[in-house]
């Protein structure tokens, strides 16, 4: 599932191919993509406009148009972009250099939203907290966000207003790196654990970006290649396998309805 590293990889591969290109055709094939806005209305708004920049905010991909409009794409679970025709295409962009860019989304959770320039920042700021790789994601910030929260620390970490772009995979990977049990009440972490967690989130995301994301089944980069991060997984999806640090069998549980993997020895419940 596309999280920050996957979306950043997509952004970095799309940017050189899209920047400065005009959209000569915009075909939206699934009304769910732009719901509740009519798909023809969205297509008409974009058609003829030129892409000024391709940016990312949290898990959002942001196509800034020269007109001042912006297209906000959220890939949710299975959204992806590609230059080769494929199955499950939900939208197709035609560029003025002849490029055909398809948006693929098997499970149809992804969304496309067109906003005016002035609406973009307030919208994104309402959904997203600081970029975890940016200067605002400090230990003090994380301490403040975890305090008073009795929910499992993993549930809080998945809140996009706490750390924009962290999803299920990188949350588990970060908690393992920080040696923090995902079920610990967020408010129970001591300052050193929070400091480790901040570092671990950043390290896990950086590794994910370096490896161009993780490919489990659907995710591909726009150039069509698989990510390599799945080879780096320390805990995600590894129940029954030995912990890469201590050899203890990785356990699986559920937190907030999501599959959650951890090492019972490296990430004990109760003490850090």
Binding site for DNA (CB under 7 A): 1, 3, 32, 58-59, 74, 76-77, 88, 106-109, 127, 149-152, 155-156, 158, 160, 167-169, 217, 256-259
DSSP label at residue 152: B
CB 59 to DNA: min, Å = 5
CB 70 to DNA: min, Å = 17
**Cβ distance to DNA smaller for residue 74 or 265:** 74
Question: DSSP per residue over 223-249, as a string?
Answer: TSPPPSGGGG-SSTT-TTSBPTTT-PB
CB 22 to DNA: min, Å = 29
CB atoms within 10 A of CB 88: 17
Backbone angles phi, psi at 194, to 5 degrees: -65, -40
**Cβ distance to DNA smaller for residue 17 or 103:** 103
**Cβ distance to DNA smaller for residue 104 or 196:** 104
What is the set of active-site residues? 2-3, 59, 258
Task: Give Cα 122 to chain centroid, integer Å.
Answer: 19
**Cβ distance to DNA smaller for residue 95 or 214:** 214
Q: Compute the distance between CA of residue 199 and CA of residue 142 in angstroms, rounded to an integer.
A: 11
Cα–Cα separations (whole angstroms), residue 226 to 92, 217, 239: 21, 9, 23
Backbone angles phi, psi at 224, to 5 degrees: 95, 0
Q: Compute the distance between CA of residue 199 and CA of residue 193 in angstroms, rounded to an integer.
A: 10
**Cβ distance to DNA smaller for residue 32 or 195:** 32
Question: DSSP per residue over 90-128, as a string?
Answer: EEEEEETTS-EEEEEETT---EEEEEEHHHHHHHHHHH-
CB 143 to DNA: min, Å = 15
CB 60 to DNA: min, Å = 8
The region that residue 213 occupies, defined by phi over 0 for left and psi between -120 and 50 for alpha, beta otherwise, is: left
Q: Compute the distance between CA of residue 180 and CA of residue 124 in angstroms, rounded to an integer.
A: 29
């Amino acid at each position: 599932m596309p999280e920050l590293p996957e979306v950043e990889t997509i952004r970095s591969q799309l940017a050189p191919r899209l920047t400065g290109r005009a959209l000569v055709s915009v075909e939206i094939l699934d009304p769910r993509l732009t719901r509740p806005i009519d798909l023809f209305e969205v297509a008409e708004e974009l058609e003829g406009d030129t892409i000024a920049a391709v940016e990312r905010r949290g898990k959002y991909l942001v196509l800034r148009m020269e007109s001042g409009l912006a297209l906000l794409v959220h890939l949710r679970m299975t959204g992806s972009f590609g230059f080769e025709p494929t199955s499950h295409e939900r939208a197709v962009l035609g560029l003025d250099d002849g490029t055909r860019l398809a948006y693929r989304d098997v499970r149809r959770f992804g969304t496309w939203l067109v906003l005016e320039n002035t609406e973009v920042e307030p919208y994104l700021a309402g959904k997203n907290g600081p970029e975890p790789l940016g200067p605002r994601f400090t230990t003090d910030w994380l301490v403040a966000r975890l305090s008073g929260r009795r929910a499992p620390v993993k549930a809080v970490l998945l809140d996009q207003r706490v750390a924009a772009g962290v999803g299920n995979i990188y949350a588990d990977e970060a908690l393992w790196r920080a040696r923090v049990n995902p079920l610990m009440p967020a408010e129970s972490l001591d300052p050193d654990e929070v400091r480790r967690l901040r570092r671990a989130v950043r390290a896990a995301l950086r590794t994910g970006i370096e490896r161009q994301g993780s490919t489990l089944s659907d995710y591909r980069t726009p150039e069509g290649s698989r990510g390599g991060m799945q080879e780096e997984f320390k805990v995600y999806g590894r129940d029954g396998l030995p912990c890469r640090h201590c050899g203890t069998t990785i356990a699986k549980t559920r937190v907030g309805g999501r599959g959650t993997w951890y090492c019972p020895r490296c990430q004990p419940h109760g003490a850090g």
